[in-house]
Amino acid sequence: MRIVDISQPLGVETASWPGDRPFTLDWTLRRDRGDSVDVAAVALSVHTGTHADGPAHTGEGPPVGEVSLEPFLGPARVIDARPSLGDGRSVGPSVLDGVDVAAAPRILLRTRDTVDAGTFPTGFSALSAALARSLVDRGAVLVGTDAPSVDP
């Protein structure tokens, strides 16, 4: 099996959800200052960059740390949802036309042409309720998006 890391790099330039704590990096020890090692403290919102929300995020289950990693490992399919968006912001169930979700039950939706990690996207595309229902009905075990949220 080929493993592909789809996470985005994190850094002080990474945009955060408006109102959330931004990514900060505080060097406590530095070799270039004469210390024997480099050591830093990092602070950020759990919604910074590539992340997974646990069921507890919406009050419906355990925190993400108690969720099995199994749904994150295995065949995935990238679906380019951009052509279906038109002028709208909602990704509808038509993006699944002709897609065998059971063959690759991890669905990754591409909704943007580019990703600028330093700018929080406004007007991002989200999943429609009909698409969410269709994904569940077809047996999807994971849904990912390049948008900051699956919700509008």
Q: Which of 2-6, 31-35, 87-91, 115-119 is predicted most confidently?
A: 31-35
Q: Which long-range contacts (CB under 8 A, 24 or more apart) does 115-123 make?
A: 115/8, 115/146, 116/15, 117/8, 117/9, 117/11, 117/13, 117/14, 117/15, 117/49, 118/13, 118/14, 118/15, 119/15, 120/15, 120/16, 120/17, 120/18, 120/148, 121/147, 121/148, 123/89
Instruction: Give the start-to-end residue ranges of the domains of the chain.
Output: 1-50, 52-145
Class of domain 52-145: alpha beta
Mean pLDDT over all residues of the chain?
Answer: 90
What's the pLDDT score for residue 109?
Answer: 94
Query: Could you tell me how far CA 148 lies from the centroid of its own chain?
Result: 7
Report the percent of the chain where pLDDT is more than 70.
Answer: 97
For the cut 90, the answer to whether the pLDDT of residue 135 exceeds it is yes
- Residues carrying an active site annotation: 57
For the cut 90, the answer to whether the pLDDT of residue 78 exceeds it is yes
Distance CA 144, CA 58 (A): 17
